[in-house]
Amino acid sequence: MPYPAAVTRVTAPWQRLLAEAIVDPAELLHVLGLPDSLLPAARRGAALFPLRVPAPYLQRIRPGDAADPLLRQVLPLDLECETRPGFSADPLAESAAQPVPGLLKKYHGRALLIATGACAVHCRYCFRRHFPYADAHAGGSRLEPALAAIAADPNIGEVILSGGDPLTLSDPRLAELAQRLAAIPHIHTLRIHSRLPVVLPQRVNGDLMAWLRRLPLRKVLVLHSNHPAELDAEVDAALAALADAGVTLLNQAVLLRGVNDDADTLATLSERLHRANVLPYYLHLLDRVQGAAHFEVSQTTAEALIDALRARLPGYLVPRLVREIPGEPGKSVIA
C-alpha cells in the first residue's frame, strides 16, 4: 500500500516538518488506513496527553497495521485513562530535585537542564508526560539562575540538555547556550538527550554540525530508539554526520510491552544501532508514570531477555538493564 503524500513529504526543512507534525488522531488514522473505530479511544487518550507524530517517523509505520510497534508508541489509547496503583505523575520525584526551576541535580558530577518542553514526537510512555514544563524549564528568565547554579558548583563536570527535546531549539539558541556552558571552567562535557535524529533526521543539518564542531567540550549524544524499524537510511546519514563531528553516540531504549519485549527485536536493534555508529547503552525498565501501565514488562522477563542477548551478542552490544529509583545516587543496574 503506497503512503499518502502527507506521509512521504520528508524533504522539507526540519522546522516545517516539526510544525506540520500530525496532532489530530483522525488524521493519523486516515493517513495510515486504520479503522475509524479506533478514533474514540484515541481522542480520549489524546485529551490527557496530546498526539504528535512528524512525517519522517510516520512513513516507517506499516499502513493498516494497528499492532505495528512504532504505531504503538505514538497512538493514544483508552488504557492511558486508567489509574493504576504504583503509577504516579512524577515517578522519578523530579519536582524535589530542582534547586532552581529547570535544573535537575540528582547525581554527583552531573546536572540536567530542562532546555525546553517541546518534543517532535509524543511517546505514549513518556515519564515526563505530566511534567509542569510551563513552570520548570530553563528558558527565558529562568536560564540565568540555572547557569549561575551550575557555575557555583565546581563538582559539576557534565551538563545534560534534556526536555522535552533540546534539538527542537534553533541552532543559534543552542550554540549560545553551549558556549556559555563551555565558558564555565569546571564543565568538560556536554551531553544531549534527543530523539530527533531518529524521528526527524532532517534536524541534523549543517548549522547543527557547525556549532558542534566548534564547541571546545567533549560531546555526547544519547539517542532514544526502541525498535530497529525506527532506523532507516536517513537516520543512518544523520548519525554518520554526528559521529563525523566528534560526537559520541549512545542509545537508551525503554523496554515496552508489544514493542520490543522479545529477544529477536532487541538483538536486531543492538546490531542495527552498531551499524549506524551507535553503542547500546541502557535498556530501561518502564518509569511508572500514570497513563503508561499497559507498556510495563516485568523485571523477571527483562532479566531473561538480557540473558538471551548475552548468549547471542558480543558484550559491547548488550545494553545494561536499569531502573531509575528516586533518591539513589545513580541508575540502578539490574542486569
Kindly state whether residue 88 falls inside one of the protein's structural domains: no
Spell out the per-residue pLDDT of the chain, length 335, in tens: 334 444 444 568 999 999 999 999 999 999 999 999 999 999 999 999 999 999 999 999 999 999 999 999 999 999 999 999 999 999 999 988 899 999 999 899 999 999 999 999 999 999 999 999 888 888 888 999 999 999 999 999 999 999 999 999 999 999 999 999 999 999 999 999 999 999 999 999 999 999 999 999 999 999 999 999 999 999 999 999 999 999 999 999 999 999 999 999 999 999 999 999 999 999 999 999 999 999 999 999 999 999 999 999 999 999 999 999 988 888 999 99
* Residues 273 and 233 both lie in one domain: yes
Domains held by the chain: number: 2
Do 176 and 321 fall within a single domain?
Answer: yes
Regarding whether 67 and 106 lie in a shared domain, the answer is no
Contact (CB, 8 A) for 125 and 286 = yes
Domain boundary among 58, 81, 104: 81
Cα distances (Å, whole numbers) of residue 100 to 62, 143, 240: 44, 10, 36
- Tell me the C-alpha distance between 208 and 122, whole Å: 23
- Annotation: binding site for [4Fe-4S] cluster: 119, 123, 126
Whichever domain contains 161, its CATH number is: 3.20.20.70
Q: Which residues are annotated as a binding site?
A: 119, 123, 126
Does residue 188 sit within a domain? yes
Domain limits for position 317: 94-333
pTM (two decimals): 0.94
Where a domain ends, among 81, 106, 130? 81
Q: Are residues 65 and 175 in the same domain?
A: no
Cis peptide before 164 (omega within 30 of 0): yes
